[in-house]
Amino acid sequence: MRGLDIRERPSPNHGDRGEPPNLRPINTLVLHYTGMQSAEAALDRLCDPEAKVSSHYLVEEDGAVWRLVPEARRAFHAGVSCWLGESDLNWVSIGIEIVNPGHEWGYRKFPEPQMTAVEALCRDIVGRHRIPSYRVVGHSDIAPDRKADPGELFDWPRLARAGVGLWPEPDPGLRRRRGRGVGIVERARGLSDLARLGYEVVPGNEGPPLAAFQRRFRPERWDGRLDGETSGRLAEVAQLYDASTAALEAARRDRFRNYRRVN
C-alpha cells in the first residue's frame, strides 16, 4: 500500500469468505471506533481468541496502522447487521477499527495524523475493491439498534472529499427547518429515502436508523426524530445516492458496449 506503513499483528479471529457459488464479493467498507480506554487494550481484545472479535485493520491516534486479518479472510467486526437488504456484512466487507475511547470512556475528536492514515487506507481499499461510495458505512449505519460508532465527531466530509463515501454539502437554508414537524406525506417520503439509502427501517422502530443517519449526515443533533431538517437532509443524500448509482450503471453499460465492440 503506497504511503502507508502497515505493521502486522495477526489475530486468530477470522474465517473464510465462503466457497463458490456462495462466495460473495467484497463490496462494503465498515468504519468503527474501538470504544476502549487504550489502543493496546483494543489490540489485545481484537487478538484474543476468547473474544471472537477482530477487524482487518486498526488505526491508532498517531496514525500507526496495524493489519490484524488479511482482506481475503472474513474478520468478525460487524456482528448482526444489515445494509441495502444484505445481512451479515462480515461476509462482504472490510472492517477498520479507529482508536477512540468512544461514548463510554470519553469520546473525543479523531486527531489529524489518525485521519490522514484513515483517509489513505480507505482510498486504497475502495480503489482496489471498487467499493461504491454508498457502500462506505459506519457500524451504526448497519446496526443502529446496538451501535453508535464511529459517531458524530467522525469527519465524513473529509473522507468524501477524498472520494470515500457520500457527503452532499448541506443547503445553508436547511438549518432553519430544525425541530419543525413534518406532515404524513413528508414523513413517509423521508422514511422511504432512509430505506433506499440502505438503512433497515422496521415500522414502529424508526428512531434508531434515523439517529444513525443524523449522527452521520446531520451530526449536530441525533435525537432520532424526523424533523424538517432531517427530512431535507435525507432528500439531499438520496439525490446524491441516485446520482452515484446512475453513474455506476452508465459506466457498466459503457464497459459492456466496449466489450461487444472488441469481441
The contact set with Zn ion (CB under 5 A) reads 32, 139, 149
Nearer to Zn ion, 46 or 120 (CB): 46
Q: Which is nearer to Zn ion, 81 or 231 (CB)?
A: 81
Question: Residues 124, 60: contact at Cβ < 8 Å?
Answer: no
Q: Please tell me the distance from the alpha carbon of residue 65 to that of residue 63, in angstroms, as a whole number.
A: 6
Residue pair 113/63 in contact (Cβ under 8 Å)? The answer is: yes
Residue (83 or 229) nearer to Zn ion, CB = 83
Q: Shortest gap between Cβ of 180 and Zn ion (angstroms)?
A: 33
Residue 5 · residue 67 · CB < 8 Å: no
Q: Which residues pair with residue 31 across a beta bridge?
A: 96, 138
Q: Which is nearer to Zn ion, 190 or 209 (CB)?
A: 209
Please name the residues in contact with 113: beta carbons below 8 A apart, sequence gap of 6 or more. 61, 62, 63
What are residue 96's DSSP bridge partners? 31, 57
Q: Which residue has the cell 472490510?
A: 94
Contact 26, 125 (CB under 8 A): no
What's the closest the beta carbon of residue 228 comes to Zn ion, in angstroms?
Answer: 31
Enumerate residues 6+ apart whose C-beta is below 8 A from 208: 144, 145, 224
Catalytic residue (one of 60, 61, 97, 206): 97
Cell of 225: 426524530
As measured in angstroms, the least distance from the Cβ of 186 to Zn ion is: 32
Residue number, 67 or 139, with CB nearest to Zn ion: 139
Q: Distances from the Cα of 28 to the Cαs of 218, 222, 259, in angstroms?
A: 22, 24, 26
Annotated catalytic residue 60 = no
CB of 104 to Zn ion, least distance (A): 12
Question: What's the min distance (Å) between Cβ of 26 and Zn ion?
Answer: 18
Q: Which three cell numbers stand for residue 116?
A: 490522514
**Interatomic CA distance for residues 245 and 250, integer angstroms:** 9
Residues designated catalytic = 97
